[in-house]
Amino acid sequence: MINFPVFEQLEVKGYGLFPGTAEKPGIDIYFKPGLTLILGANGLGKTTLITILFRMLAGAYDLPRTALDATELGGSSLDVRQLNFQEKALFSNRVQDLATNATATLRLSIAQRQLTIRRNLKDLGLVSVKFDTTEVLTDEKEYQAKISSLSGVPSFGDWLLLLRHMVFYFEDRRELVWDRSAQRHIFRTMFLPPQEAQEWYRRERDILSRDTRYRNDSAALNRLKKRVASSEKAAGNETSLRAELVSLRKLQEIDEEAQSKLVDDADDLDIRRHALRKSLLSGELDADKSARALESEKLLLLKNYFPTEKQTAQYLYSLLIAQNYCAVCGNEATSAAEQLAARVTDLKCVVCESDLTPESSSLEKVISFSKEKVKSLYGELRLNKERVSALKKEYDSVSGHYDDVATRLVDTRAAIAERIKQISRIENALPQDDERYVKEKSELSELRKTLDGDKVELFSLATSFKILVDQANTKILLNSSAIKNAFADFAGGFLAERAQLKWSPENKSLGQISGTTKVDFPAFSLEMSGSNFTAPTLRNGPGAVSESQREFIDLAFRMALIHVASEGTGGSLVIDAPESSLDAFFVKRAANVLCRFGKSDSNNRLVVASNLVDGQLLPEMIKNGISTEERDLRLVNLLDVAIPTAALRENRPEYEEELRKVLASGGLSEY
């Protein structure tokens, strides 16, 4: 059994997308037992907020692309990879100041321990993680080992697997109830002791690695047979030259691998550098436009101060404001220009600094409007300059990193080129046919030995692995009845049809070598009744049910697994954009089941993020999970705390009316 994270509080500070309010800057969400509802509109950062929550636990690391993009998860490597520079800039790329001072802090409990994780949002770096009140870590690797141990999973890769497939219900999720290959990873992680789960993974990866090597070596063996058959010349005795040749080739392989890594890093940094350069040029252009607009507006305001007969004075002061140039004495007058600009902006007389009262109401409106516009332009110019400064700093940092990588790449390429000359001189000194023959003969002999040994060992390992999985299945089966009952309970709440799980292990071989022992991997299949079926029948894929049924069946499966594997200690389920276009009967059932999982008297946390959409799912969830007394704690209104989009600025009354309707339908009419 494992321990799921139980969220308690998330704070986001200094992040441009979530400025918060004057009373409460940033975002501060308390996750009470039960439902927390995040409401917003397109572009307000609903998914960004959910992703921040995920990244607080995962950091700048993820599963390999082969695992994330694979059609089948079973057998995939879970060796953790570090995000590249672009991926780390996920949050910084979305704000003007590149999230330079933005931080997020997540407080949670796991295995009866209190954790407080703090990261910067610029590159997801770990600031600190506190365990209870005493133990504090700042090293990412130490955090990964600690969180894996507390959760009861064998590795940080399994922790990421748990987050992606059990805790977070993203839009790009796998449909776990139909992904039988993914189930074996989930069951291995959740229902086996960590050492046994890790041994399963280690043996599985070992067999797959050997299988790949066997197939590659078999192809190489066939090619070598043809070449060796045509080579009849004896090998030479240039022992020392051959030894040097072997050593140089080994060094060449090492440098070529390093070169490949440096090329990837240089390309990645170059993309980031060019993107920042483009943004910097754009920012500088915006700042220049803001400065010119400000000067123009100050001159217009100055013009309103002077009657027509005082055009000479107006001209002199205009030159001083626009060019810092005194037309009387011919000198540069920066200080005087700044004082003059301040007087103009504050509606003071430019000569005696007296307060000005326009003679006519129309002139008063013009001057008042111009003054407000000047102040607005000052603010716009300040923001643009801050963005330029942040972009310049980031650009210099990335450029410096790029230059360092480029220098190392040049040095590595030079070493490779020089070694190529050395290898060429030795190869020219050796009898070509003899050297090639000896090499190929040796490789052929080694390959034959390797293939013979690998084939025997593959069959032995597969047989041993089958025994291990069979023993694991026995332990997993101990929980199968509880999983089936929990699923039937949750799915029965969602659906009018009868849905049930059936234990049906997936019998298949590891790898592609024919004749190896097949293994019964643990898996459930789905059976469900329907309008045209008299009894529950097998539903082999998501296409065998309706779109709305598909989503909630998969949710029921996840909720059942969390319920059983957590053994009542609680867990968190985060859902991004649930289905809302459902009929009235189905909506009530769905809302009831979701809120039953996240009951306020349980230790479960249910976090749902959604746009303001038509339908009754949101109102029904509010009725079931949010009381008037707790609305400020359980309801996060992004219309108030997120930076408004253009659509929201232009149509705020309409958005607020939609929010009012949703809340009123859910019984929160006084919001």
What's the pLDDT tens digit per position in 606-663?
999 999 887 888 898 999 889 888 888 999 999 999 999 999 999 999 999 999 999 9
pTM: 0.77
Residue 647, judged by CB atoms within 10 A of its CB (0-12, 13-18, 19+), counts as middle
Q: What is d(CA 408, CA 397) in angstroms, rounded to the nearest whole number? A: 17
Residue ending a domain, among 411, 430, 449, is 430
User: Mean per-residue pLDDT for 205-217?
Assistant: 84
d(CA 260, CA 409): 9
171 and 255 together in one domain = no
pLDDT at 514 over 90: no
Domain stops at, among 430, 459, 486: 430
User: Structural domain of residue 262, as residue ranges?
Assistant: 237-430
Same domain, 72 and 149: yes
Two tokens, residue 227: 């070449």
* Tens-digit pLDDT profile for residues 243-279: 787 888 888 889 888 888 888 888 888 888 888 888 8
Domain assignment present for residue 497? The answer is no
Closest CA to 391 of 518, 279, 503, 547: 279
What pLDDT sits at residue 420?
Answer: 86
Which helix (H) or strand (E) is 574 found in, with range?
strand 572-576
CA distance 256 to 240: 24
Residues 253, 399 within the same domain: yes
Per-residue pLDDT, 232:
41
> Does residue 492 belong to any structural domain of this protein?
no
Relative to beta strand 113-120, strand 6-13 is: unpaired
The yes-or-no verdict on residue 23 having pLDDT over 50 is: yes
Give the CATH number, domain containing residue 112.
Answer: 3.40.50.300
Q: What is the pLDDT of residue 362?
A: 46
Structure tokens at 598: 């996240």
Lowest-confidence region among 13-17, 77-81, 445-449 = 445-449
Q: Which of 12-16, 83-87, 271-275, 313-317 has the lowest mean pLDDT?
A: 313-317
- CB–CB of 81/99 below 8 Å? no
Q: Is the pLDDT of residue 151 over 60?
A: yes
Interval 302-355: pLDDT, tens: 666 555 545 555 555 555 555 565 655 656 666 776 676 666 666 566 666 666
In order, the DSSP letters of 326-372 are -TTT--B-HHHHHHHHHHHHTTB-TTT-PBP--SSHHHHHHHHHHHH
Dist CA 195 CA 610 (whole Å): 39
Do residue 314 and residue 416 come from a single domain? yes
Q: What is the 3-state secondary structure (H, E, C) of 69-109?
A: HCCCCCCCCCCCEECCHHHHCCCHHHCCCCCCCCEEEEEEE
What is the number of other CB atoms lying within 10 angstroms of the CB of residue 364?
15
pLDDT at 64 over 70: yes
Mean pLDDT of the chain: 83
One domain, residues 121 and 269: no
Query: Average pLDDT for residues 483-499, to the nearest whole number?
Result: 87
Instruction: Supply the Cα-derived Rg of the chain in whole angstroms.
Output: 34
Domain boundary among 430, 450, 466: 430
Closest C-alpha among 91, 103, 115, 102 to residue 7: 115
264 and 115 assigned to the same domain: no
> Which tokens in the block code for residue 649?
């600025």
Residue 217 inside a domain? The answer is no
> Is the pLDDT assigned to residue 207 strictly greater than 60?
yes
* 292 in the same domain as 163: no
Higher pLDDT, 155 or 22: 155
Both 270 and 417 in one domain: the answer is yes
The DSSP string of 106-128 is: EEEEETTEEEEEEEETTT--EEE
- Give me the number of domains the chain comprises: 2
DSSP states along 526-573: EEEEETTEEEEEEE-SGGGS-HHHHHHHHHHHHHHHHHHHHTTS--EE
What is the residue type of 116? T
Whether residues 32 and 161 fall in one domain: yes
In a domain, 635, yes or no: yes
More confident call, 564 vs 264: 564
Q: Give the residue from 537, 582, 521 showing the smallest Cα distance to 555.
A: 582
With cut-offs at 50, 70 and 90, classify the pLDDT of residue 602.
confident
Q: For residue 431, what pLDDT is reported? A: 56
Note whether 118 and 262 are same-domain residues.
no
Beta bridge partners of 251: none
241 and 142 together in one domain: no
Q: Which two tokens stand for residue 433?
A: 């046919």
Q: Which amino acid is at 488?
A: A
Q: Which amino acid is at 102?
A: A
* Alpha-carbon gap, residue 348 to 362, rounded angstroms: 18
Specify if 80 maps to a domain: yes
Is position 224 within any domain?
A: no
| Beta strand 499-503 pairing with 61-62 | unpaired
CB-CB contact of 154 with 148 (8 Å): yes
Convert the pLDDT of each residue in 368-401 to its tens digit: 556 677 778 778 878 888 888 888 888 899 889 9
Q: Are residues 126 and 251 in the same domain?
A: no
Residue 147 lies in a domain: yes
In the 3-class helix/strand/coil scheme, how is 461-500 assigned residue by residue? HHHHHHHHHHHHHHHHHCCHHHHHHHHHHHHHHHCCCCEE
Query: Tokens 């230059």 map to which residue?
Result: 403
For tokens 């931080």, name the residue. Answer: 103
Decide if 165 is inside a domain.
yes
pLDDT at 150 > cutoff 90: yes
Partners of residue 355 on adjacent β-strands: 348
99: nearest Cα among 205, 155, 26: 26
558: exposed, middle or buried (Cβ count in 10 Å: 0-12, 13-18, 19+)? buried
